[in-house]
Amino acid sequence: MEYSRVPCEGRPKEIAVGMMLAGQAQGFIPADRSPLTGHEELILARQPTHDGYLNVGVAVFYPPQNSDCLWLDILYVAPEFRRRGVGRELVSQVRQIAAEGGYAEFSIGTMLNNAPMLALLKSIGLTRGLVYFDERCGSAA
């Protein structure tokens, strides 16, 4: 699996939007979620194939205005690649970006019915909230 950090523009944005729509269809991302603005960044998880790559997951993140946190806005992994560590690695990479970027917090939210996401967050130690999770980073801890 390859992971690439890229701006949310052009083809990467199209891929992220497609994954967001798939997550909405599966009920894991709110149907009324605002569209991506292009000011976000993302990490794409891609599986090399004999003729290119298969896009299997995405983490969309950004620092909210007037905030000292890095917000993981969308985490999506294609169903056939779930439970293989892809989501865990995407979260890990965004957490690392937050810590190395000097943010005071890494934050993420999820829907109450998103049992796989709740289980993932619990498994990596983010259990401070029911629907909202945050973590102090580095020297700000």
Is the distance from CB of 97 to CB of 105 less than 8 angstroms? no
Which pLDDT score, from 0 to 100, does residue 30 have?
A: 81
Find the farthest-apart pair of alpha carbons in the chain and give their distance in angstroms, rounded: 45
For the chain, the domain total comes to: 1
pLDDT digits (tens, 9 = 90+) for 21-40: 998 888 888 888 888 888 99
CATH of the domain at 42: 3.40.630.30
Domain carrying residue 18: 2-140
Residue type, 80: E
Q: Higher confidence at residue 5 or residue 137?
A: 5
